[in-house]
Amino acid sequence: MSPRAARIAAASVLAIHLLGGCASARRGTSSVGPHDTQALVPGAEEVAALASLIRLEDRREYDSVAIAGFARSASALVRRHAALSAGRIGDGHAVPLLTGMLADADTGTAANAAFALGMLADSAAVPALAALLDPASVSVRPTVIGAAASALGRIPTAASRAAVEGFLRRVPVDGANVDAVGPALLAFWRYPRPADPTPVLPWLASRDPELRGRAAYALTRRPDPRAASALLPLATDPDALVRSFAVRSLGAALADSAGIAHPAAIGILVRAVDDSALAVRVNATRTLSGYGEPASVDALRRVLLRSADPHPAVTAAEALGRLGAKAAAATADLRTVAMDARAPIGLRTAALAALVTVSPSTAKEVAAIASTDQSWRMRAAAGQAFAALAADGRAGMQALARDADPRVAASVLGAAVEAAGKDPAPLRALLIESLGHADVQVRANAANGLAALADPSTLPLLLDAYARAARDTVNDAALAAVDALGALKPSRDAAARAFLARFPRAADELVRHHVRAAFGDTLAAAWGPVHPVETGRDAESYARLVRETVVPSLGGRSPRVRFVTSRGEFEAELFGDDAPLTVESFLRLVRARYFDGQDWPRVVANFVIQGGDPRGDTSGGPGYAIRDEINRDPYLRGTLGMALSGPDTGGSQFFVAHSPQPHLDGGYTVFGRVVKGMDVVDGILQGDRILRIEEIR
């Protein structure tokens, strides 16, 4: 399965710092925190138990008897994985079992049970989780408390919020344990607004830079005027990560509500764009986009033209685009950059996109020139600009929607559908024409547009589109056709009956999910249950997976790979114990040379680099999907994660985090970490090449 516009990260634990050169420690299912019982290399019975649990996860099959039996195992390793499996499978019937496991003497098991309850997000678990937030136990069970706090952050009730806030108020700031308090600080931002910042504010004064950073992050994600004045001094904090969050908090709206004068805020941000740390420079540049004063525009122009690092320059172009007409003084600069064939392609396309709002007439002129560029990415950017210009750019858009390169055609058609919003009627003829395109992504975007159109007369066309898509090696067009059929209100029931009468039950679990979402449980019942997933694996294949992937990682021999890129090399350790299905799939693709010669299709400064797409436009994949393996490993600098377009949609696309990304924790499978060469990761730009990925033996 190709992620539809996928977007979107050992035996001992070392001390970590969120902005360290590489993530030097991990916490997860088999890996343990400093207070967790050490895991042993599994024996034959444990291998069999782990294989059975992974099989249930892979099938998304909740066997209550089997999992309860594994939860009572004498092996802590099996109990840990049983808890995690119950959460990954996602069946709410597991809540009582997991609640009981919170008292397990092995803190790794108890922490996994708490984490799994967060995945299930059932409010019935709140009292048991809240009871764990005991300041007196911080020195004894910090990882359990931290996992419970994280779980409470995913259950947005008044009781869960009160538990987390009460815990933060009761724990002394000096000498606090980061494993317990850190997750509680990060849980704070997940609650709906309004959010009272007072439980978090004292932690901005912590002597521990990691706790200061997490507090600043939480307050940045939940901005409040009462926190703004406290965050302001942190713009000069000795810790770069703390500084990056502080400058991110200085948005114009918050400055206004907090009574911070614009010249003062802009002055701080202008100084920060010259900070020694890239994270600070990028965040300050982004934040300047909220200020339309000449001083902020001048600072962004300077970054655009003079930054030695392309990442802040791209960010500056994007910021100028958000300012629109207020940044008219930057028109000539943006045009120069967009037309500079020597500039990185990501910078050129960002400059053209910015011109659409800054100077639409200039954007149209530059797009007309770029529409014949040799680079498909530049032609795609031209088509996207035409699409954003609406009627004024329709002719150019339609021409590029028929570009010979399907990546251009798909991206331009997708941009046109997005720009049209709820009124795609002017695109109707193009959408219908594109349903017959040879490229699966073009057809998928055409079906997405027809879903917005919701015209019952397109029913026969959409049925035929699904029939064609059923023969594709990837399912994007099939999913889009089903979604479009479900959007044919008030003719949805007629569409469902026609669809279910014509097509047999799909073998693809994701198609079955979309059919149920499109047509409802009653009508979709003709296709039977979505789960379990038929994986095509027998019991021995799962046992072999454990022996070859899980056991080496537990024994301190985690698989390693080397990324050889056009910018240099970096190496990564893979977490075979925490994400065995993901690691096995990744290594299988590595051995098949699948990644060799691919582009890095997506790079977002101070966020991620994304690869693994054979098309190069973030819509390609290997032709199959793997199940998510959500685990307790956090997204730190250098973390490898799987890109998704929804639950269980991972395939070959992966990303590497430039910096800590707590909002990704527990949402995307973490399957490794960079252990060497993060400076190379930092330098990678969109369009750079993966020359090869190879195992290190």
- pLDDT reported for residue 307: 93
Q: Rounded mean pLDDT of 540-545?
A: 97
Asked if pLDDT for residue 16 goes beyond 60, the answer is no
423 burial level (CB within 10 Å; 0-12, 13-18, 19+):
exposed
Q: Which two structure tokens, joined as six digits, stand for 397?
A: 């858009």
- In the three-class reduction of DSSP (H, G, I as helix; E, B as strand; rest coil), residue 506 is classed as coil
The neighbour count for residue 332, using CB atoms within 10 Å, is 12
pLDDT tier, 538 (very low <50, low <70, confident <90, very high otherwise) = very high
User: Per residue in 228-267, pLDDT tens?
Assistant: 989 999 999 999 999 999 999 999 999 999 999 999 999 9
Query: By mean pLDDT, which of 10-19, 398-407, 526-535 is the weakest?
Result: 10-19
Closest by CA position to 411, among listed 597, 594, 602? 602
Q: What is the DSSP string of 436-497?
A: T-SSHHHHHHHHHHHHHH--GGGHHHHHHHHHHHTTSSS-HHHHHHHHHHHT-TTSHHHHHH
Residue 665 in this model has a pLDDT that exceeds 70 = yes
**Residue 570 identity:** F
- Average the pLDDT over 310-321 and give the result: 98
In the structure, what pLDDT confidence band is assigned to residue 320 with cuts at 50, 70 and 90?
Answer: very high
* Helices vs strands, H then E, count in the chain: 33, 8
pLDDT in the model for residue 195: 81
What does the pLDDT read at residue 31? 44
Q: Which tokens is 629 given?
A: 């393996």
pLDDT of residue 193: 84
pTM, full prediction: 0.93
Q: First-to-last CA distance in the chain? A: 30
For residues 672 and 116, give the distance between their C-alpha atoms in angstroms, rounded to a whole number.
20
Q: Cβ distance 605 to 314 under 8 Å?
A: yes
Its sign, for the CA torsion 334, 338, 342, 344, is positive
Is residue 17's pLDDT more than 50? Answer: no
pLDDT of residue 521: 87
Q: Among residues of the chain, what percentage have pLDDT more than 90?
A: 89
Token pair recorded at residue 159: 């009781």
Helices (H), 102-251: 107-120, 126-131, 142-153, 158-170, 178-188, 209-221, 225-231, 240-248
The number of angstroms, rounded, from the C-alpha of 127 to the middle of its chain's C-alpha atoms is 30
pLDDT band at residue 194 under the 50/70/90 scheme? confident
CA distance 62 to 323: 51
Distance CA 378, CA 400 (A): 11
Phi, psi (degrees; rounded to nearest 5) at 167: -65, -45
Which pLDDT value is given to residue 523? Answer: 84
| Mean pLDDT within 338-345 | 97
Given this model, what pLDDT does residue 40 score?
59
Q: How many CB atoms lie within 10 A of CB 47?
A: 20
Question: What are the φ and ψ backbone dihedral angles of 600, each rounded to 5 degrees?
Answer: -90, 105
Q: 477: phi > 0 → left, psi -120 to 50 → alpha, else beta; which?
A: alpha
The answer for residues whose C-beta is within 8 angstroms of residue 625's C-beta and 6 or more apart is: 1, 475, 509, 510, 648, 649, 650, 651
For the chain, the structural domain boundaries read 44-218, 421-530, 555-696
Q: What is the DSSP letter of 22?
A: S
pLDDT tens-digit map of 19-49: 333 333 444 444 444 334 454 578 999 999 9
Per-residue pLDDT, 24: 37
Residue with tokens 């400058």: 247
Q: What is the pLDDT of residue 8?
A: 47
Model confidence pLDDT, tens digit, residues 483-531:
999 999 888 899 999 999 999 999 999 999 999 999 998 888 899 999 9
Question: What SS3 class is residue 656?
Answer: strand
Q: Which residues pair with 696 in a beta bridge?
A: 560
How far is residue 587's CA from residue 597's CA, in Å, rounded to a whole number? 17
CA–CA separation, 432 and 208 (whole Å): 59
Tokens of 195: 């959010």
If DSSP codes are grouped into helix, strand and coil, which group holds residue 561?
strand
Phi, psi of 40 (to 5 degrees): -105, 155
Mean of the per-residue pLDDT values of the chain? 93
pLDDT exceeds cutoff 50 at 5: no
Q: At what angle do helices 406-420 and 440-453 cross, to 10 degrees?
A: 10
Tell me: the pLDDT tens digits for 353-374? 999 999 999 999 999 999 999 9
Residue 656, pLDDT above cutoff 90: yes
pLDDT tens per residue across span 610-644:
999 999 999 999 999 999 999 999 999 999 999 99
Q: Average of pLDDT values for 118-133?
A: 98
User: In this predicted model, what pLDDT tens digit does every residue of 68-123 receive, in sequence order?
Assistant: 999 999 999 999 999 999 999 999 999 999 999 999 999 999 999 999 999 999 99
Q: Which CATH number fits domain 44-218: 1.10.260.40, 1.25.10.10, 3.40.50.12780, 3.10.20.740?
A: 1.25.10.10
Out of 2.40.100.10, 3.40.50.1000, 3.40.30.10, 2.40.30.30, the CATH code matching 555-696 is 2.40.100.10
- 209-221 and 240-248 are packed helices; what angle lies between their axes, rounded to 10 degrees? 10
3-state secondary structure of 265: helix
CA 79 to chain centre: 29
3 state SS of 568: strand
Q: What is the pLDDT of residue 294?
A: 97
- Which strands, in side-by-side order, build the sheet including 690-696? 602-604, 608-611, 654-657, 639-642, 670-676, 568-574, 560-565, 690-696
CA 166 to CA 168: how far, in whole Å? 5
Quote the CA–CA distance of 535 and 56 in Å, as a whole number: 10
